[in-house]
Structure 1
């Protein structure tokens, strides 16, 4: 038990340090390649910080625990929007760009709708997994092409930190990026291991462990990466991280798990967790649209609403388990 507690505490400390290294490397790479921060957020941060979800879900599928894989992916999506993005904009509001409304949020809504549709027949087959992986390639391709066409619109102010970032060489940027990501994943894994050990001692079910402890634990890279990006003024990168991560979780993580072994989820996943994920995605789109139309920052009011949604979902989760 004490070893599990130590893994959680030490893992958290290392996680915070590695997030700063990771973001510095990502920003340096964006500057050097002259690509939008949002695109770096979607592709490198989004996919990179979803690596823990992918690893956990693959292991769960291989070990015959499909509900843990689904709970991890969908629970992480809920945590990413409600807790990670909510906490991020509480600290540093985000300006919503037109492309978020016209392209990125509609794509996320489409991906969420596909996930709900595939689960409606009560099984995720190998064919469903192939469809998800193909859709992931298509969605990422669309985001890459359109983002590159828009050019680099970030960098709101010239600070000492931004000047220093421009001086990084390509090798330094890549080195910090991969070092930060590696330590992020390893420290997250230590935290998740410790949390699962503690949860098992407390007698929690596999699905609940996946939706709560594993979901939050594997979302820690997104949380610290987004907070670090927002603190450094890279708001597009913070939002791109969340959108990219959720797309990858829904399509890539679940797709690979279904390819390994067909999944027959319990009905509660569709009636509670997919419903919560869908409502939350719609809420996020509505708040982004409102912020864009009124020319206001996506800030503390929206952040508070998202965090309250997470609290409400967690209470709902606990109540359904105890029934």
Structure 2
């Protein structure tokens, strides 16, 4: 029964995120927000809502391994497999501003996380712990990111949205209903995923961290994969890239920030290795993006292959 309910939970997460993103994106279009800003905010935060729900519920249930593993695993999945598969479908063009600002901010967020989980190495304390104080630090960085987004919104103009005939736009009520219904499905789906993935982990003899890095991370990141591929097919490169980069920033700074404020998160010793891998992959993404301001199919294949290798490493490590 746990396996069936886990699948139901994933289904609710994916379907809920789809409706939430659809409703929220159309509301953003009504507000005449630029495509990159939509990708970095509405779409990124919407597709990250499964991660948020799962990690926050896990923190409330004292499942720190799932909460941390979900975020780090999701970011690795986004940086490698989501971006790689999207590039295989369609070559992704990357804006210079993304290379100069958004990707480096993602790297900064990962480095901050590494520092915060390295209490034993840096402070010679008895345990690694993401405390409530650490959570407020992460949220402070997230506030800085939001301020940056407000500046982007202030300096950008979406002429296509401004010229769109208001008569052709769907109603606010319909989109608000889609967004709220999607959010409800996400919350309940997240509850099912956390509860039953933990049961399965115990049955398999797996650690909570391993489940978070693999099953839960992939499941909650499926909305990012579907959204980015669909955006690339439609030629919306800004939304595809903004979705991935924005999701990674949101995952670390907001989700882990809120989760650790709710309940301090104990950190398993192996987690630092995974965060180091995430940092290395983010640096690789920065290098790849700078080569011709695009991510080509060959580079996409390499990124996707790196994720498969990472999964094999994590599973063998146990």
Tell me what 2:305 maps to.
308
Tell me what 1:282 maps to.
283
Instruction: Find the residue that maps to 1:80 and give its secondary structure.
Output: helix
Q: 1:27 to 1:127 in 2, by over 3 A?
A: closer
Question: Whole-Å Cα distance in 1 between the matches of residues 136 and 17 of structure 2?
Answer: 32
Tell me what 1:220 maps to.
222
Tell me what 2:232 maps to.
230
Instruction: Find the residue that maps to 1:266 and give its secondary structure.
Output: coil
Question: Whole-Å Cα distance in 1 between the matches of residues 17 and 53 of structure 2?
Answer: 19
Residue 205 in structure 1 maps to residue 211 in structure 2 = no
Q: Is the 8 Å Cα contact of residues 192 and 213 (structure 1) preserved in structure 2? A: no
Instruction: Give the deviation of 1:15 after TM superposition.
Output: 5.9
Instruction: Give the deviation of 1:264 after TM superposition.
Output: 3.4
Q: Is the 8 Å Cα contact of residues 196 and 214 (structure 1) preserved in structure 2? A: no
Instruction: Give the deviation of 1:277 after TM superposition.
Output: 0.6
Tell me what 2:171 maps to.
169
Question: Whole-Å Cα distance in 1 between the matches of residues 223 and 111 of structure 2?
Answer: 26
Tell me what 1:84 maps to.
82
Q: Which runs of 5+ in 2 are unaligned?
A: 121-127
Q: 1:11 to 1:209 in 2, by over 3 A?
A: closer
Considering only aligned residues, what root-mean-square deviation do their CA atoms show, in Å? 2.8
Q: What do the CA deviations read for 1:217-274 (whole angstroms, capped 9, x no partner)? A: 221222223233333433212221211111111111211222233333122111x201
Which of 239, 245, 248 pairs up with 1:246? 248
Q: Which runs of 5+ in 1 are unaligned?
A: 156-161
Tell me what 1:159 maps to.
none
Q: 1:64 to 1:229 in 2, by over 3 A?
A: same
Instruction: Find the residue that maps to 2:105 and give its secondary structure.
Output: helix
Instruction: Find the residue that maps to 1:303 and give its secondary structure.
Output: helix
Q: 1:133 to 1:12 in 2, by over 3 A?
A: closer
Question: Whole-Å Cα distance in 1 between the matches of residues 72 and 238 of structure 2?
Answer: 23
Matches within 5 A, 1:251-270: 251-270=253-272
Question: Whole-Å Cα distance in 1 between the matches of residues 24 and 241 of structure 2?
Answer: 14
Tell me what 1:126 maps to.
132
Instruction: Give the deviation of 1:316 after TM superposition.
Output: 1.4
Aligned residue pairs, count: 308
Question: Whole-Å Cα distance in 2 between the matches of residues 190 and 13 of structure 1?
Answer: 10
Question: Whole-Å Cα distance in 2 between the matches of residues 165 and 233 of structure 1?
Answer: 25
Question: Whole-Å Cα distance in 2 between the matches of residues 8 and 51 of structure 1?
Answer: 17
Instruction: Find the residue that maps to 1:219 and give its secondary structure.
Output: helix
Instruction: Give the deviation of 1:138 after TM superposition.
Output: 1.1
Tell me what 2:64 maps to.
66
Instruction: Give the deviation of 1:288 after TM superposition.
Output: 0.9
Query: TM-score w.r.t. structure 2 length?
Result: 0.84
Instruction: Give the deviation of 1:42 after TM superposition.
Output: 1.6
Q: 1:90 to 1:187 in 2, by over 3 A?
A: farther
